[in-house]
């Protein structure tokens, strides 16, 4: 932990807070941490799905989630499968927050 903190230009207690989920690093800090570990932060703009049908199409060939596939809603619910995502999308559509 001390080595990572030194390489990333931060402190050991700060690394500990990140590891324990007490605080989340900002993007610039996350980028430094990843580089210190020999990795790089990349993202691709895929756009948000605009309909339930688009959600179903996007996830149709996915058998199951990996650790990277788990998403949490703002109220703490886990979305692990295409069915979970579809149900959440239906809920959003019912609230008028997602188009048909």
Domain that holds residue 17: 2-36
Highest mean pLDDT among 19-23, 53-57, 63-67: 19-23
Mean pLDDT of 48-75: 69
In a domain, 99, yes or no: no
Q: State yes or no: pLDDT of 12 exceeds 90.
A: yes
In whole angstroms, what is the distance from residue 80 CA to residue 82 CA? 7
Question: In whole numbers, what is the pLDDT of the chain averaged over residues?
Answer: 79
Whether 41 is in a domain gets the answer no
**Domains in the chain: how many in total?**
2
For residues 71 and 80, give the distance between their C-alpha atoms in angstroms, rounded to a whole number. Answer: 7
The pLDDT tens digits of the residues spanning 66-92 come to 555 677 777 778 887 777 878 888 888
| Residues 31 and 6 reside in one and the same domain | yes
Q: What mean pLDDT do residues 11-30 have?
A: 89
Residues 14-27 have a mean pLDDT of: 88
**What is the Cα Rg of the chain in Å?**
18
Same domain, 58 and 90: yes
Residue 36 · residue 8 · CB < 8 Å? yes
Q: Is residue 42 part of a domain?
A: no
pLDDT at 13: 93
Same domain, 57 and 32: no
Model pLDDT, residue 14: 92
Whether residue 56 sits in one domain with residue 83: yes
């Amino acid at each position: 932990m001390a080595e990572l903190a030194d390489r990333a230009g931060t402190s050991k207690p700060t690394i500990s807070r990140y590891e324990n989920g007490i605080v989340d690093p900002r993007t610039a800090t996350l980028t430094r941490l990843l580089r210190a570990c020999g990795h790089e932060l990349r993202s691709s703009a895929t756009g948000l799905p605009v309909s339930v049908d688009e959600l179903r199409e996007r996830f149709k060939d996915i058998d199951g989630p990996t650790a990277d596939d788990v998403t949490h809603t703002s109220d703490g619910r886990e979305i692990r499968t295409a069915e979970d995502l579809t149900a959440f999308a239906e809920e959003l559509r019912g609230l008028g927050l997602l188009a048909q």
